[in-house]
Every structure is written in structure tokens, then in C-alpha cells.
Amino acid sequence: MSSLFTRTATASVLYDAPGPRARTRYRLFGVLSLVGIAGLLWYAVATLADNGQFDAQLWEVFQYNTVQQQILDGLVSTLEAFGLAAVLSLTLGVLLAAGQLSDHKPVRWATVSFVQFFRAMPLLILIVALYYSFFAKDPMWALVLGLTLYNGSVQAEIIRSGVNAVPRGQGEAAYAIGLRKTQVMTTILVPQAVRSMLPAMIGQLVVTLKDTSLGFVITYSELLYIGKKIASQPINAAGFPYIPAVLVIGPIYIAMCLLLTALAQWIEARGRRGANRRTSAAA
């Protein structure tokens, strides 16, 4: 009872509880916001319907085996580019994080400069520059290396921040018993930092997956490029299937990101259970 009173008193100190008029006003704003959003959605749907974007003829293109195979090939190309970029960016992130945490100033300065440069470089410009400079005949590698350089730099910052977030006493105690820096990093700091930085690392992998769509600019046959190709083909007198292509390709991207997020949550939960079991066994 006392704890409930304490929480209530603390909450009242932090902010004023809304009165009856304020609650009524908030409800009114909420209803008006919902009505406004519903109105915008209705206007968008009505405009698209007037332009014939929901005609059945525009959906017939997806019944062809050739189009279905193109979408499947685009999905495979997207996953291939993402898989390579994910592995390479994580590897590069670990190496760059180690360089940023190095005791040698030249190594640390060079690594920090590398990370800051590629973090600041717009990803689309980087991909296009790699394509026209080195990979005009193989656009996949322009996309993969662009994603690797950018996301590897971001992952390096995530890893560095995670390691620095571990209490300093952990490392000092390890040094005090005679461990070398490599041993301290691999056995003490990194294992503890992984639990805190894993959500951010997985979130960046989701960004990497979505950024594979930039490959359409350099004509890499990933999912968005295939969708754009389908949408640019007129269907007799019905027009171009822009909205049907969006409604087919968009959910595929959403499903991939949700699956990746679910996998990350499963890995995080499993690691937490393992840590709890080790703690219980040590006790």
C-alpha cells in the first residue's frame, strides 16, 4: 500500500494529472485525428480507384508464371545481396571496432577516420560510385560493397559503444589478475557487451535488408527492380499496374523484416535464458 502511495505521489510531482476537461479535450483530439486519418485514406483510395488502379485487369499480370518467376528470382537476388552484405558488414564492424579501441594512436586515428567517412557518405552515392568505377559488369558487388562499407561503419560504432558501456571495473579487475588486452576483450568485455548491443546490431541488419532496394538504381535485379519492371509494363488499355505492384512487393519486404526481427528476438531471449542458467548454476 505504501509503495502504491509512493508511486502515485511521485507521478503527481512529475506532472499534473489531467482533469475532466483535459481528458475530454484529449478524447476529442483523438477522435478528430482518427477521422482525419480515415479521410486521407479514403481520399487516396478513391483517387486511385478513379484512375483505375484497382481494376481486375491490372492484377492479371501476376497470374503469369513468367512474372511469378521474376518475383521469385528478385527475392533470391535480394536475399543473396543481403546475406553477403550482412556477413561482410559484421566482420568489418568487428575489425573497425577493434581498431577504434586500439591502444596504438595511428591505428585508432586511421580507423576512426575510416568509420566517420563512410558513415557520413550517402549510401546511394557510394553504391553508384562503386558501380561506375569498378563493377559496371557486375552490379551485385557494387551493391554489396556499398552496403558493407556503410553498415560496417555503423556496426563498428555499435560494437565500440557496447564495449565501452561495460563497467570499467570489469576490465580493470581482469588486467589486475594478469590478462592481456586480447583476453580481456574476448573473455570479459565483449561477452557482456553482446547482450546490450544485440538489439541495435539486429536493427542495423534490418536497415541493411531494406537498403538492398537501392540496387534498382544500378539495374541489379533485386525485388524492387523487378517490381518497377512489372509496374512499367502497360496492361492493354487498363494502364500501368503501379498500385498492384506496390501491394505485392511491399508486403514481401515487410515479411522479410518481420522474420528477421523475430529471429533476433528469439536469439536475444535464448541468450538471456542461457545467462540466467549460468548465474543460477554459479550461485
Of residues 7 and 84, the one with the higher pLDDT is: 84
In a domain, 200, yes or no: yes
Same domain, yes or no: 23 and 67: no
How far apart are alpha carbons 240 and 256 in whole angstroms? 26
Q: Give yes or no: residues 161 and 41 share one domain.
A: no
Q: What is the mean pLDDT of residues 185-209?
A: 80
Q: Kindly state whether residue 148 falls inside one of the protein's structural domains.
A: yes
pTM of this prediction?
Answer: 0.77
Report yes or no on 12 lying in a domain.
no
Are residues 222 and 89 part of one domain?
Answer: yes
Containing structural domain, residue 215: 60-268
Looking up residue 257, the CATH number of its domain turns out to be 1.10.3720.10
Q: Is residue 237 part of a domain?
A: yes
Question: What confidence score (pLDDT) does residue 15 get?
Answer: 56
Q: Looking at the structure, tell me whether residues 43 and 65 fall in a common domain.
A: no
**In this structure, are 69 and 179 located in the same domain?**
yes
CA-wise closest residue to 97 among 134, 165, 152, 56: 152
Kindly tell me if the per-residue pLDDT of 278 is higher than 70: no
Domain check: are 88 and 32 in the same one?
A: no
Q: How much is the pLDDT for 214?
A: 92
CA atoms in the 13 A half-sphere facing the CB of 168: 0
- The answer to whether residues 129 and 257 belong to one domain is yes
Q: Is the pLDDT of residue 6 over 50?
A: no
Please check whether residue 248 is in contact with residue 62, taking contact to mean a CB–CB distance below 8 angstroms: yes
Q: Please tell me which of 15-24, 53-62, 151-160 the model is most confident about, judged by mean pLDDT.
A: 151-160
Q: How does residue 212 score in pLDDT terms, banded at 50, 70 and 90? A: very high
**In angstroms, rounded to a whole number, what is the distance separating the alpha carbons of residues 153 and 187?**
24
Give the least confident one: 40-49, 55-64, 166-175, 218-227. 166-175
Is residue 8 in some structural domain?
Answer: no
With respect to residue 55, please indicate whether it lies within any of the assigned structural domains: no
Q: Are 41 and 122 in the same domain?
A: no
Residue 183 has pLDDT above 90, yes or no: no
